Structure 1
Amino acid sequence: MQFIVEFMKQPKEIGAIAPSSIYLARKMTPEKLLCDAKVVVELGAGMGHFTEEIVRKKPHGCKVIVFETNPLFSEGLAEQYRSREDVLVLLETAENLPLILRGLGIEHVDLIVSGLPFSSFEIEKANTILNGVHEVLNANGTFLAFQYSKYRKKIFERVFGSVTHERELRNLPPAYVLECRKEL
């Protein structure tokens, strides 16, 4: 119920009518990408379904940095992970990703997982976020984002070149998982 209330308040920022399913969360957090990660960033964590999977699957010593702009969601996640030194929850926008990471002494990250609703963002905002993601990914880094349509796939391709996608039907609504790799 809390999720729906927040969606009604900020539909363009929340971007979904329901929290992500466990099936989408699993697809967005593949063990093959997490097993060797040293730093993972999550953008738009919402209620934390992806966060849970990341924390469960990540290797010991891997740092997880969570960006969430909704104060209610951010506070809930901060409370949930307050005893963990390896998880940092920030009430912060993804537009500030490079700046925030530099402030934390982090130059590059291995994996970025995004629940951000790029389809509802102004194109300038979407480009700012995607360029920031590209900037902070390491040479072998991966960016995973889910979207409900392929409407904005071209903006991902402009930044990352080739973008693959996979459908997850066991989500409300069904979603596309876009996989972007940093091309040098």
Structure 2
Amino acid sequence: MKRLLFLFQYIGNPRTVGAILPSSRFLGDKMMEGIDFKKAKYIVEYGPGTGVFTKKLLEKRNPETIILLVEQNKEFYSLLKEKFKDERNLFIVYGSAENIIEHLREYGIPYIDYVISGLPFASLPKGVSNKILLETSKILKKDGEFITFQYTLFKKTFFEQFFTKIDVKREFRNVPPAYVFSCSMPQNDMGELYGV
């Protein structure tokens, strides 16, 4: 059922959905590898889709850790609201990652430890990608990470405009195989969201 929904959403919205099938559990594991779940207080996920990565985040997180999901596809948003309706410290926003600072202010979240992203940067308009990554670089705390996957290395130089350190890993057990990018600014103390 979820696979069919994903396929239909891809056919209708190929620029924003970006894949024909949900991500594999192997890719999900690779996306979680670098997260320090004991220390993370705030995690954001952009474009959670059917919730493959969300489920893993919820399994591994400290129960006090706050997770914010940002989904702009109405069908996926409705699915996530129903699927995770009983979860504590999980907030789901129907909106764009471009407006992440507004979303964080709405929930009183001062900064982010990790941003997990399923957004298809290869097919998003450049202006949208620019805004998302610029806003993301502002909300990450010192040594925070932006973790995303892409199907090619094409966007690596683009990510390097916003992050000074990028680690890349390959996951073959996904359709199609994917690259996981862990992006950070280790020397940069960004301060908190409200300009402190």
Instruction: Quickly name the TM-score band, shorter chain normalised.
Output: over 0.9
Matches within 5 A, 1:129-168: 129-168=132-171
Find the residue that maps to 2:175 and give its secondary structure: coil
Q: Distance in 1 between the 2:24 and 2:91 partners?
A: 23
Contact 1:78 1:88 in 2 (8 A): no
1:82-125 superposed Cα distances (whole Å, 9 cap, x missing partner)? 12231111111100001110222112011110000000012111
Q: Partner of 1:67 in structure 2?
A: 70
Q: Partner of 2:192 in structure 1?
A: none
Q: Which moved more, 1:154-163 or 1:17-26?
A: 154-163
The CA deviation at 1:32 is 4.2
Select 1:43's aligned residue among 43, 46, 49. 46
Matches within 5 A, 1:1-184: 1-30=4-33, 32-183=35-186, 184=188
Percent sequence identity over matched residues? 34
Q: Partner of 2:194 in structure 1?
A: none
The CA deviation at 1:146 is 0.3
The CA deviation at 1:164 is 1.3
1:109-168 superposed Cα distances (whole Å, 9 cap, x missing partner)? 111100000000121111100011111111121110000011111111110022110000
RMSD of aligned alpha carbons: 1.1
Q: Distance in 1 between the 2:78 and 2:175 partners?
A: 25
Q: Distance in 2 between the 1:78 and 1:29 partners?
A: 22
Q: After TM superposition, which residue ranges in structure 1, 4 or more long, deviate above 6 angstroms?
A: none
Find the residue that maps to 2:23 and give its secondary structure: coil
**Runs (5+) with no aligned partner, structure 1:** none
**Runs (5+) with no aligned partner, structure 2:** 189-196
Q: Distance in 1 between the 2:32 and 2:40 partners?
A: 12
